[in-house]
Structure 1
Amino acid sequence: MADEEWSPAGVDLTTPNTARIYDYLLGGKDNYAADREVAEQLIEVIPEARMAARENHAFIGRAVRFLAGEGVRQFIDIGTKLPARGNVHEIAAEVAPDATVVFADGDPVVLVHARALLAGTPRTAAVRCDPHRPEAVTADPEVRELIDFEQPVACVLDRVLHFIGDPAEAAAAVRRLHEALPAGSHLVFTHITHDPEPESGGDVGEVFKPTSGHFWGRSRAEILDIVGSFELVEPGLTYTSLWRPVPSRPAVAHPERTFTLAGVGRRR
């Protein structure tokens, strides 16, 4: 766990933070007592929360590895959470050591952590971005120093879209991102769904009240509408553990209990 007596300057240790809660669920060390308390309450409501976080993280890894194998060399992780072991820059480098990765987030807590963790890592940057307007990152001067928007770019919206309350606004944000990217680019996304257990939504909302973030679980049909400007590659929209699973990895008994739908879309 993170040292409660030390944290990067500007980090609030008393307010639970969704990025650090996710880090705790993944078994990371960049979290504090307030984050762990909320995470444990979430586990009481959704016992599979740790498994869901692991499968979400594993999906992002498989998607990035797939795209790097397809020749993509530029990645922008929007709403990055905390760049931890096995995150986008490390996975991309396994396949393509020359890959460039930009992390973009609107949460100052995440940015403080990200810049500290990425210090000295070549071909990476962490920039401020409003996840409600993901296309704005394409105009950021620091981003343009690293990313060539004449070449394909993979944008990762990991657990971002369900923080946009209005589904029409979420769909508009994805359309604007689609328009800002060159042909051959891709969107990697995950989105919380309430389909497996609609009645749990209220309890989960209560758990996350102390945090600075609130999310909306949506149905499969609603999520398809939101990402509809991109053409989904096989196997389309599916639970995280079912998207191109690694044969040697143990299968998840109940994929729907990840409560997360995911996919990779292509911009023609």
Structure 2
Amino acid sequence: MTDQHAQRGIDFDQPNAARVYDYLIGGKLNYAIDRMFADKILAVRPESKDLALMNRKWLRRAVRFGAEQGIRQFLDIGSGMPTVGHVHEVVQAIDPKSRVVYVDNEPVAVAHSEIVLQDVENAVMVQADAEYPERVLEHDTTEMMLDFDQPVMLIMAAFVHFIPDERDPAGLVAAYRDALAPGSYLAMSSGTFEGQGEEVRRAAELYQKNGTNVVARSRDELQALLGGFELVEPGIVFTPQWRPDDPGEVGEHPELASQLALVARKA
């Protein structure tokens, strides 16, 4: 490990969930250890790349929906790697003045996001552990970019399934909710075992063995995280089912996405 990598805190000895996801969606910001682990996942579930892209497409539809409702501030928790069609590209196509704060604690995600965003107005990266909301909400950059007296879309895409029950995911969501003005939105997706085959559980076990907890949650369990929010239509559904651009994209088996998704509004 080079001094620069050591300073960034990059660990080459363990696969990282953000970098594995980057590999699955066709990114280049990953290392051999991540690709080796991803190949194990693909051996168990060959369609994993398609499923990761489904989640990414849902995110783009969700933030576009937020922008269409008049939201001009976006806080992306656990944002991961910068990719084509990132949140700021979607919402700034609607209004260039839209402001986006990305948050992640994975050093590679942070470093590359900083590079991608260096010439982008109104979009920034914050390096922080999102399990400590005050480190995000009270960060100087967050406070500079976002006005929490005005509505914000809070994004938790593929985030809460890394928060086990003993770490109080409902309390975590509530801490962010309490910082939001009425009229704000929450966009959330999570892995689930609902309607899934044994291969999904085996994939989750692979993550577990490599030190990454994955807690797949049902619709009812996700609903329990939403105190103070009201679901918007169509509620909690598999990612392809959430307001698809083309109904033909949903397919006969949307449950194969293995991810539930929702958008909810703070009254």
What is the TM-score when the length of structure 2 is the normalising length? Answer: 0.90
SS of residue paired to 2:114:
helix
Q: Is the 8 A contact 1:105 1:128 kept in 2?
A: yes
Equivalence for 1:118: 117
Report the Cα distance in structure 2 between the residues aligned to 1:133 and 1:198, rounded to whole angstroms: 34
Report the Cα distance in structure 2 between the residues aligned to 1:56 and 1:167, rounded to whole angstroms: 26
How far is 1:15 from its partner? 2.6
Letter in 2 for 1:65: R
How far is 1:69 from its partner? 1.2
Q: Is the 8 A contact 1:105 1:129 kept in 2?
A: yes
Q: Is the 8 A contact 2:161 2:215 kept in 1?
A: yes
**In the TM superposition, what whole-angstrom CA distance separates every residue of 1:79-119 from its partner, at most 9, and x where no partner exists?**
01112111111111111111110001122332222212222
SS of residue paired to 1:262:
strand
Report the Cα distance in structure 2 between the residues aligned to 1:259 and 1:134, rounded to whole angstroms: 27
**In the TM superposition, what whole-angstrom CA distance separates every residue of 1:201-257 from its partner, at most 9, and x where no partner exists?**
552234224645321112221111112331111101100000000127633331101
How far is 1:49 from its partner? 1.1
Q: Is the 8 A contact 1:105 1:111 kept in 2?
A: yes
Q: Percent identity?
A: 37
**In the TM superposition, what whole-angstrom CA distance separates every residue of 1:128-165 from its partner, at most 9, and x where no partner exists?**
23222346422222111111111111110111111111
What is the TM-score when the length of structure 1 is the normalising length? Answer: 0.90
Report the Cα distance in structure 2 between the residues aligned to 1:36 and 1:249, rounded to whole angstroms: 32
1:56 to 1:135, Cα distance in 2 relative to 1, 3 A: farther
Equivalence for 1:244: 243
Q: Is the 8 A contact 1:48 1:258 kept in 2?
A: no
Equivalent residue runs for 1:161-240 within 5 Å: 161-166=160-165, 169-197=168-196, 199-200=198-199, 202-209=201-208, 211=210, 213-240=212-239
Q: Is the 8 A contact 2:12 2:33 kept in 1?
A: yes
Letter in 1 for 2:119: G
SS of residue paired to 1:150:
coil
Letter in 2 for 1:143: T
SS of residue paired to 1:42:
helix
Q: Is the 8 A contact 1:174 1:229 kept in 2?
A: no
Report the Cα distance in structure 2 between the residues aligned to 1:34 and 1:53, rounded to whole angstroms: 19
Letter in 1 for 2:207: F
Report the Cα distance in structure 1 between the residues aligned to 2:37 and 2:260, rounded to whole angstroms: 23
1:210 to 1:86, Cα distance in 2 relative to 1, 3 A: farther
What is the total number of aligned residue pairs between the two structures?
263
The RMSD of aligned alpha carbons is 2.2
Equivalence for 1:46: 45
Equivalence for 2:54: 55
Report the Cα distance in structure 1 between the residues aligned to 2:166 and 2:72, rounded to whole angstroms: 31
Q: Which runs of 5+ in 1 are unaligned?
A: none
Report the Cα distance in structure 2 between the residues aligned to 1:40 and 1:14, rounded to whole angstroms: 16
Letter in 2 for 1:127: V
Letter in 2 for 1:252: G
SS of residue paired to 2:15:
coil
Report the Cα distance in structure 2 between the residues aligned to 1:158 and 1:142, rounded to whole angstroms: 21
SS of residue paired to 1:30:
coil
Question: In the alignment, is residue 88 of structure 1 matched against residue 87 of structure 2?
Answer: yes
Equivalence for 1:71: 70
Report the Cα distance in structure 1 between the residues aligned to 2:81 and 2:245, rounded to whole angstroms: 24
1:167 to 1:266, Cα distance in 2 relative to 1, 3 A: farther
Letter in 2 for 1:94: A
1:211 to 1:88, Cα distance in 2 relative to 1, 3 A: farther
Q: Which runs of 5+ in 2 are unaligned?
A: none
